[in-house]
Structure formats: C-alpha cells, structure tokens
Structure 1
Amino acid sequence: MKIRALERTDLKNIHIIDNKAETMRLWFEEPYESLDELTSLYDKHIHDTHERRFVVDLDGIFAGIVELVSIDYIHRNCEIQIVITDKFSGLGYAQQSLKKGVDYAFHTLNMYKVYLWVDVDNAKAVHIYKKLGFQIEGTIKQQFFAGGKYHDSYFMGILKSDYIRRNENKTKVNN
C-alpha cells in the first residue's frame, strides 16, 4: 500500500466517492457533483500550494484518497481528510494511509500541527484517529449540516513533537 499524487485519470474514482451521499455526509460535504465540475476543480487547484491530494494505491488499484488541505505555511498547520472505498474498508488501510499523510505533512511540508474535523457519531473514525495519536481538542456544537440535520463535530489535532515521540516509543518497544 502506498499513497501517490492524485492524477487526472483518478477523477473517475473520485467522482464515485463524491456522489455517495453517506460518504459525503461524513465529510460534511454536499454529494452529487458532476464529472465536469470535478475536472474543473482539479484544473483550478492543480498548482495550489495550499493543498495536496493523494490516492491510496494498492498495487495499481484505487482504494481511497488522503488530502492535506488549508495548508498554512506561516503557522505550519493543515487539515487532513481521508476516505477509503467501501471495497477496502475495515482492512486497516485507513490507518496506514492516514499515517502516510501525516508523515508527509510533518516530514516533507514541515508542518507543526495536523488537525481534522470528525462527526462525534463517527466512532470508527475517532478510534482510528486516536490510535495515531490525534487528541480531541474540542467539541463544536451543530457545526455541520449534512443528511438533513446539524451535526456536532470533534476538532482533533496532533503536534509534530507528540507524533515523533509516539513513533520513537513504538520503535523502542518493537526492537
């Protein structure tokens, strides 16, 4: 399993994800986007230095996406987002992909903090984020409207120093 840069040829797979109402609800986004809209957004953002989009690649098979967005080079923080397709859900790829995205943010982009938003009712995702060291920093009441109602959201984050320390401790335990 690896992550690689999103390419124009991946847009058909992104289009499928973007048109799944349940998936977009978890991303607090509106579903149903045309392929033309998606292609136009891709073209608009291809050179945007404030976002990085990666494909979760399983030996050439599209398994999901990891995105670093709202990259702030002054305050050195960014938001991370992830979606694993239904076919590969529950197989550990979300955690592996998320870790690769966080590694990229800290070790390539030199971010100080990575954060995310997650629906308080998305226990599966919260569990994965906590396993990687993300901490709940706050609960935002009725922050997002999706699926016909407002949802509370956790704001979760991890600092580079905590992430490095956590990984060093895991390395020592495994040796």
Structure 2
Amino acid sequence: MSDPLAHFPVRQIAYFTNDVRAAAARHAALYGSGPFFVSEHIPLRRADYRGRPGTLDHSSAYGQWGALMVEFVQQNDAGASVFRDLYPSGGEGLHHIALIVDDLAAAAARFEAAGMPCALHAEMMDGFPFLMMDGVARYGHFVELYEGTATLTGFYDFVARAAEDYDGREPVRDLAA
C-alpha cells in the first residue's frame, strides 16, 4: 500500500502555540508571511475526540507563507484533545498538515487502513466536517482532512490574495465575522 500522503498535495502547515497572535506576529517578522487573520473561540457543533463526544475551544490565526497557508492554533480550554496529545504541558510546535480531499470518507479510510486512526471528527456550526488523522507515529504530526467546498477554497483564496500585496503592516488582523 502506498503512503496516503502521496495522493494529496499539502495545502496548510499548522503549529500549536499558547498565543496565536504572538506566534503570527513573530512568524510575519521572521519570514515575511501574512497577513494573519485571527478567529477567536471557533464554535464547533461537534468535536468527537478519539471516538467519544467532547468539546474543543480553540482559536486560530491563518496567513500565507509562500505557496502554503500557515495556521497557528491555541487551545483555550484544558480538555483532552489532539493538541494536548502532542503538547500536554504547554509546549509549542508543529502539530499538523492539512489536505483538501475530494471524498472525506474515502480519504479517511485510506489513512485508517495505513494505521492512522481518526483522532478528531469535528464539524463547524454550519455542518462543515473536518478530521484529524493520527499520523504521529509515522510522520511526527497529525494530518487534517477536509473536502474542498466553495466556502473552504474561497477562504484559502482570500488568505492568499491578502498576501499578494502585503506590505508588512498590520501583520495580525481580526477575521471579520
């Protein structure tokens, strides 16, 4: 069986941090990435962790870094999660890469068949699902999967367009509701 990552281009790299705004500002200053758009306390309709219903309060900052979107994510509550799996006591670092797939169930099955179970099955309030596959043993990080809906690809396009003429000013911005 081929490696599941061989079938999909990486669209995003995500880092876990204790402060998304500070991490985004630091990244922008070091690498010229951005601007970063922050969404605080992202509401989820569903956040099943390792097959059990749960909750997840998290915030994210999204920016462009060359051809990739870069995300900084922080967990705002102390509950068990895919973030605490890698960083249980306040650590920070690479957490996951994200792939846009045509068929979420088929892609998840491909990862599961390769020994990478679904560690998080989440849904946004509008029902948009995303999965975190546990690729830690193989890759050292999780793999996020979601389908390329118009809303999602539109958001990726919005972030990429903002970077085209980015002059380094206002590196961290609130994402408009």
Q: TM-score range by the shorter chain?
A: under 0.3
- Between structures 1 and 2, the one with greater helix share: 1
**More contact order relative to length (CA 8 Å, sep ≥ 6):** 2
TM-score between both structures, scaled by the size of structure 1? 0.26
TM-score (norm 2): 0.25
